[in-house]
Structure 1
Amino acid sequence: MAATPRKALADVRQIAARRTAPIVLELDLTVDPLEGVPSDPVTLALAHRRTTLRDLVEALRHAAEDPRVSVVVAHIAAVGTPLARIQEIRAAIGLFRAAGGTAIAYADTFGEFGGGTGPYYLACAFDEIWLAPSGDCGLTGLGMETPFLRGALDRLGVAVEIGQRYEYKNAVNTLVERDFTPAHLEAVSRIIESSSEQVVAGIAEGRRMPADRVRRLIDLGPLAGPVALDVGLIDRLGYRDEVYAAARERVRRSAAGDASAAPGAAGAGLAGVVDADLAPTADTDLAAGESDGGSAGEGAEPVLMYASAYRRLAERREKSPVRRVATLTARGPGAFFLRETAPTPQRLADAPAAGTGSGSDAAGSLDDSAAAGDTRGVPLAPSVTAPHRDPRRSVVALIHGTGQVILGQGSPGPFASPVLAAEAAAAAFRAAARDEDVVAAVFRVNSPGGSYVASDLVRREAERFRASGRPLVVSMGDVAASGGYFVSLAADLIVANPGTLTGSIGVFAGKQVVRELLDKVGVGFGAVAEGEHALMMSPRRPFTVGEREKLEEFLDRVYADFVDKVAAARRLTREQVHELARGRVWTGADAHANGLVDELGGLTDALRLAWIRAGLPEGDTPRVRLAPRPSVLERVRAPK
């Protein structure tokens, strides 16, 4: 019986040690992080254990402010992560390193024999790059292949009748051409060139070598691990256990240095918050050798924690009553009783004008005459609630728009692709406008486009949100093109990553005619119609002359409206927009240079800009609230 109290005491000491122990933050980048929020409960449950992009970015932000986290270890693999998403992770790693942390990247292989340029570009944002001795450094450059189906469709007996505005609207070329058109080749070549410039510059900066040398090494790739080590592309060859042993040693040295500099300060980060997430993951490299004795925090082994678990723990700490009281105490005794009023017009005018790039002048400030003109005469729904602008309660609403733009509510389900449904997006903007805590909104757009009408409906609701007196910032994800750019036009600011694909200001429409194919397989159709154009979109017959004229009228009308709205939103002439439009896709870097976006950056930058434009303290971390916040019942029930 005497052993029981001793064991209990040892367990208590072990728990106390873990609460104050150093943390090694682990990023699992062997799976592409999720973007957006699933709209149905089944997908949400399935995705619960999968890391999201916000998990990674927010965990790194918290870690940069936590003295217990001095080392980040990322396991990287070639999983097809888009360039813009890689750049958001790189930026978050850069902020962690700037705060004094050490970041270590480990890969089993950067593409087995090839295809490792993306993950290697990501790894170059870290302090050290480790590679398994048997792995390859598949740094081979960027490329893009486009299939052309015209020959196959001709053999099948499928005719394609499509119109487009204009020559760069090359999505239809897959169906109607046999090879690149000159305009298509020009646009794709520039996308690859711009993306390659970004990748080469990032690798050159991370590895501290000239860009020309990086290009020569790309042409020599793929390289075996020892060769990559010799030429300076990686820092160490080693297996996973060796990586974590090195990370543990770094943490020990860092903890020893902190202890000698400030005795008793260990555990100041997330200490005091008891949570199951503090338990280390199943990693014997870090768990081995933990001491059963000693006081809490003295000689404690580092705790390995995944990004999603660490983020949940850090956010619970921020919301804890103890933390809130400490924050209010730091502001003085009056903070317990006084509530700040809304900023005066002069205060809003003095707020920093977000946007330092070439397109920032196009966005202007919140109270300039042009911005007022954008929202003048926009009727507000009776349910709109003015924000209170109390800094203690103010939040930035985060609205996700992911997938193809469609009309209606969409059809959520575990096997359905995410969609930017017009009704759902409009409801999110209305919910944000009704929330008095919301002082600004960020619309995260990750969409290749879709329905013209649906895009215009979403743009209108975004415009009405701005009319409530709140700033709106668009954050573009991997792609925000065509309809994805259309829905962004109501924003005060548009923020895009350099590798974002955007623009594609144009339109196409038409149909496929399968009459010959049906004849080949013996399928016949009978048709009865009243009205000259009743069967206009029938796949059984081609357009008549009159129907083709209607199609051309539609394309001209949509393109003209798109160009006019871009010209008004970006403060460009119609001729200037037409030169940038014609269906051409741009990288975020080129779009910024041409005035189609205002800032280069990720979601974190967009949230910060929205917070500042709302007149809130620039030094505060923006508080974020998803909009809307549906209950489980609302997720399950059928749309009205």
Structure 2
Amino acid sequence: MKQFLTAIAANLLTIAICVVGGILLIVGIAASAGSKAPVEVADGSVLVIDLDRAFSDRPAETKPGSFLDDALSAGRGGAIPLRAATIALKAAADDDRISGILLRGSISADGYASGFAALRELRAAIATFRQSKKPVHAYLVNPDTRDYYVASAASVVTLDPFGSLLMPGLASEQVFFTGMFEKYGIGMQVSRVGRFKAAVEPFTRQEMSPENRLQTESYLGDLWSEVKRGVAQSRGIDTVALQTIVDTQGIILAADAKAAKLVDRIAYFDDVLDDLQKLASAARSADGAKPSAKDSTRAAEMARLLDRPTLPQITLGEYAPIAVAKDRSFSASQTIAIVYAEGDIVDGEGGDGTIGGASMARELRRVRNDAKVKAVVLRVNSPGGSAIASEQIQRELTLIAKKKPIVVSMGTVAASGGYWISTAAVRVFAQPNTITGSIGVFSLVPNIKTLANRNGVTFDTVKTGRYADLFSIARPRSEAELAVLQRGTDAVYEAFITRVSTARKLTPDSVRAIAEGRVWSGDDAMRIGLVDSMGGLDAALKSAATLAKITGDYDVREYPRVKSATEKLTDMLDNKPTPVAAAIRAASPAGANALLSGRGPASSLARDITHELDVLLRYNDPRGVYARMPFVLRIH
């Protein structure tokens, strides 16, 4: 017994030491967070834009991140707010210390960040920067369509001699789990409204329905047309010639890419660095500036980025907070609020990558009760989700609309529940390559009867009402129960139709004709009356200011607020990996991490399968009714 108690005491002491040590480590890091030296922009600096960092729809920070912020933002989580990036590019154009831009890296689209609509806004900001006559250099190794779509906006595009242009066109590959579910004895029963409502297909079919294939071909064609237009305009080539080389080669070798005027030159990265070195030196000479001791120190610190100690440089992640802070008008008496809604819409508080109905409604109430806020821009980048959560958010937006105008700015996707919450707006902006619509709803109820019975598990029930166990997953639904579910689904669909009809000033029948769960591109959505204008977040802000009759200067506040480093750390400790990802990592930690964080086709497929299964687990609507589009963002 004594040995047992001694062992227990020793273990407790070890745990205590670890806990105290961990707390001291955290406190030490947090303390050092405030002591990070402010970022200095050296004369002649090159602004480095690393496309590996995703561009997301979330609030921008107005001060550079601390050491702890940087540590917590490392890897895939270190996304750059899209608005912060565009503000930074505008500021850099007028900043005499910035000599030019370097674009490098490869976009890894994961979730809803760095979608085609976001990349279009980034391209527009690059084009605006070029008007300052400062060069934009893009260095590419094996760029895919997304990479090249952005890089083609540069003034000089360089392709590595050993590289190639991976641009075979766009494809949408959708994953189906029906066969796997049947193999393991998991059944799925659905009720839905809308011939094109394909969100249930991964769990009920083994291939696309004709309706789903039709809508996918339509919006994918529109997205591809926008890519071709952008590339052709930037590169001064014909869209027909571009389509020809894409169809004949698919993977375009370096020499062929140059011959087709898709790139300006073939060279190694050190050649690009030499050019940037000359550019920075020329900028210094023109200003008559000499490197200060502080500038020299800064250049040495930045050697880690481009391995060129004498080249003054600053990353977009470092420069953006400086630009955003200068862009703010803290003394202005009038404010426009930007509220970001990015991710799947779920019931309750939500979490990382989701929009919680309760938490978003609470945020909107703060905006509504803030007397300084004269107008609201809702930035939507969501495929939808829970119908009740969507209605909860839409209700709060409707209350705001009674006091101040609401303008919606659609990002890459604003469909189904994402469109539901947009119906509170007086004006809706989208990009040509936005994915929207999907006005339809469904109910999805699984059952594990066969799986359980195969393993010797049975169920028995006592109930006080005919439909008391309607949502039990222990058995399939009867015809009468399916009729109950369908009646509820129909009611939610009619409510959806009514909200769209009222918001867009269309008759219910005309809305039904364009609804049916069909997904539309931004171009088509404007043609059929679901969208008012083409434009990005800046256009929506200007429209909101006009509608609110704001004269003079105004401040822009973004919601939800940016969390502190301590809050991020707390969330990190509280939020476990998504169930499916956690199970994969538990089975093979090293292999799973490499697979889920890689860039190749296998990694991309693994992430998409994981995402789809996690979405299934996020279906938490109390009534089991959802307004969500299919996960169509796997476009490559």
**TM-score when normalising by structure 2:** 0.75
Separation of aligned partners in 2, 1:43 and 1:476: 29
Shift of 1:35: 3.4
Deviation at 1:178, TM superposition (A): 2.9
* Per-residue deviation, 1:634: 8.2
Give CA-to-partner distance per residue, 1:83-129, whole Å, 9 cap, x none: 1221121111122123433212112221xxxxx11211111111111
2:31 aligned with 1:22: no
Aligned to 2:187: 159
**What one-letter code is carried by the residue in structure 2 that aligns with 1:66?**
D
1:406 and 2:329 equivalent?
no
1:227 aligns with 2:256: yes
Partner of residue 88, structure 1: 121
Aligned to 1:538: 472
Residue 334 of structure 2 corresponds to 394
Structure 2 residue 13 is matched with structure 1 residue 79 = no
CA contact (8 A) 1:283 1:304 kept: no
**Equivalent residue, structure 2, for 1:437:** 372
1:53–1:315 Cα change, 3 Å = closer
Tell me which residue corresponds to 2:196: 168
Deviation at 1:33, TM superposition (A): 2.8
Alignment partner of 2:505 out of 571, 579, 587: 571
Shift of 1:134: 1.0
| Cα separation, partners in 2 of 1:202 and 1:584, compared to 1, 3 Å | same
Q: Which residue is 1:193 aligned to?
A: 221
Counterpart in the other structure of 1:383: none
Aligned equivalent of 2:315, options 297, 303, 306: 306
1:461 aligns with 2:483: no
- Letter of the 2:91 counterpart: H
1:120 matched residue in structure 2 = 148
Q: TM-score, normalised by structure 1?
A: 0.74
How far, CA to CA, are the matches of 2:308 and 2:173 in structure 1?
46
One-letter amino acid matched to 1:456: E
Structure 2: distance between partners of 1:202 and 1:463: 37
CA offset at residue 402 of structure 1?
A: 1.9
Matched AA of 2:318:
A
Which of 600, 624, 635 is matched with 2:556 structurally? 624
- My pick for the range that moved more, 601-610 or 529-538, is 601-610
For 2:48, the aligned partner's letter is E
Change in Cα spacing, 1:105 to 1:284, as seen in structure 2 (3 Å) is closer
SS in structure 1 of the partner of residue 407 of structure 2? strand
Distance 1:72 1:280, change over 3 A: farther
Distance 1:592 1:512 in 2: 37
Q: Partner residue of 2:514?
A: 580
Contact 2:60 / 2:558 at 8 angstroms: preserved in 1? no
Change in Cα spacing, 1:65 to 1:605, as seen in structure 2 (3 Å) is farther
Closer, same or farther: CA 64–623 of 1 in aligned 2, 3 Å = farther
Which range is displaced more, 277-286 or 397-406? 277-286
Distance (whole Å) between structure 2 residues aligned to residue 486 and residue 608 of structure 1: 23
Pair 535,192 (structure 1): closer, same or farther in 2 beyond 3 Å: same
Structure 1 residues 20, 507: closer, same or farther in 2, change over 3 A?
closer
Assess, with a 3 A threshold, how the Cα gap between structure 1 residues 548 and 43 changes in structure 2: closer, same or farther. farther
Larger radius of gyration: 1
Q: Does 1:145 align with 2:178?
A: no
Q: Cα deviation per residue 1:518-556 (whole Å; 9 max; x = unaligned)?
A: 111222223222211011111222222321221121121
Does the 8 Å CA contact 1:278/1:305 hold for their aligned counterparts? no
Residue 482 of structure 1: how far off its partner (Å): 0.7
Shift of 1:165: 0.9
Aligned partner of 1:624: which letter?
A: V
State the shift of 1:513 in Å: 2.2
Cα 1:174/1:538, change in 2 over 3 Å: same
Q: Secondary structure at the match of 2:86?
A: helix
Kept in 2: contact 1:498–1:600 (CA 8 A):
yes
Instruction: After TM superposition, give the deviation of residue 627 of structure 1 in Å.
Output: 2.9
Give the aligned residue type for 2:550.
Answer: L
SS in 2 for 1:565: helix
Amino acid at match of 2:43: A
- The structure-2 alpha-carbon separation of the partners of 1:482 and 1:288, relative to structure 1 and needing over 3 Å to count, comes to closer
- Any conservation in 1 of the 2:43–2:283 contact (CA below 8 Å)? no
Q: Which residue of 2 aligns with 1:591?
A: 525
Give me the whole-angstrom Cα distance separating, in 1, the residues matched to 2:300 and 2:542: 32
Q: Could you tell me which amino acid in structure 1 is paired with residue 235 of structure 2?
A: R
SS at match of 1:505: coil
Deviates more, 1:481-490 or 1:90-99: 90-99
SS at match of 1:576: helix
Give 1:450's aligned residue. 385
Structure 1 SS opposite 2:384: coil
Say whether residues 1:282 and 2:303 are aligned partners: yes
More displaced, 629-638 or 487-496? Answer: 629-638
Inter-partner Cα distance in structure 1 for 2:383 and 2:325: 36
1:182-581 equivalences under 5 Å are 182-219=210-247, 220-253=249-282, 281-282=302-303, 288=309, 303-317=312-326, 392-410=332-350, 412=351, 417-468=352-403, 470-581=404-515
Partner residue of 1:358?
Answer: none
Query: Which stretch has the larger CA shift, 609-618 or 444-453?
Result: 609-618
Query: Distance between the aligned counterparts of 1:610 and 1:138, measured in 2?
Result: 40
Flag the 1:490–1:527 CA change in 2: closer, same or farther, 3 A: same
Determine if contact 1:133/1:225 at 8 Å carries over to the other structure.
yes
Structure 1 residues 151 and 96: CA distance shift in structure 2, 3 A: same
Alignment RMSD, CA only? 3.2
242 and 285 in structure 1: CA distance in 2 versus 1, 3 angstrom threshold: farther
* Residue 43 of structure 1, CA deviation: 9.1
Distance in 1, Cα, partners of 2:193 & 2:305: 60
1:102 aligns with 2:34: no
Deviates more, 1:183-192 or 1:422-431: 422-431
Q: Do 1:473 and 1:493's aligned partners in 2 also have CA atoms closer than 8 Å?
A: yes
- Matched residue type, 1:577: V
Aligned to 1:46, which of 33, 58, 72?
A: 72
Aligned to 2:55: 33
Shift of 1:606: 2.1
- Output the amino acid matched with 1:108: V
Q: Secondary structure at the match of 1:450?
A: strand
Once the two structures are superposed, residues 171-190 of structure 1 have per-residue CA deviations (whole angstroms, 9 ceiling, x without a partner) of 11222223222211111110
1:254 CA drift (Å): 5.3
Q: Mean alpha-carbon deviation: is it higher for 604-613 or for 566-575?
A: 604-613
CA distance in 2, matches of 1:425, 1:304: 39
Provide closer, same or farther for how the CA distance between residues 288 and 145 of structure 1 changes in structure 2, counting only shifts above 3 A. Answer: closer
Structure 1 residue 288, shift from structure 2 partner: 4.9
Q: Given that residues 245 and 285 in structure 1 are in contact (C-alpha distance below 8 angstroms), is that contact kept between their aligned partners in structure 2?
A: no
Q: 1:491 to 1:317 in 2, by over 3 A?
A: closer
Q: Distance in 2 between matches of 1:466 and 1:56?
A: 29
* 2:43/2:284 contact within 8 Å kept: no
Aligned residues: 517
Comparing 494-503 and 569-578, the one that deviates more: 494-503
Structure 2: 5+ residue runs without aligned partners?
A: 1-36, 575-636
2: distance between equivalents of 1:146 and 1:215? Answer: 24
* Counterpart residue type for residue 47 of structure 1: S
1:139 & 1:75 partners in 2: Cα distance? 17
Helix, strand or coil: the match of 1:164?
strand
SS at match of 1:487: helix
Native 8 Å contact 1:395 1:439 kept in 2: yes
Equivalent pair of 1:280/1:305 in contact (CA under 8 Å):
no
Q: How has the CA–CA distance of structure 1 residues 278 and 435 changed in structure 2, closer, same or farther, with 3 Å as cutoff?
A: farther
How far apart in 2 are the matches of 1:184 and 1:206?
33
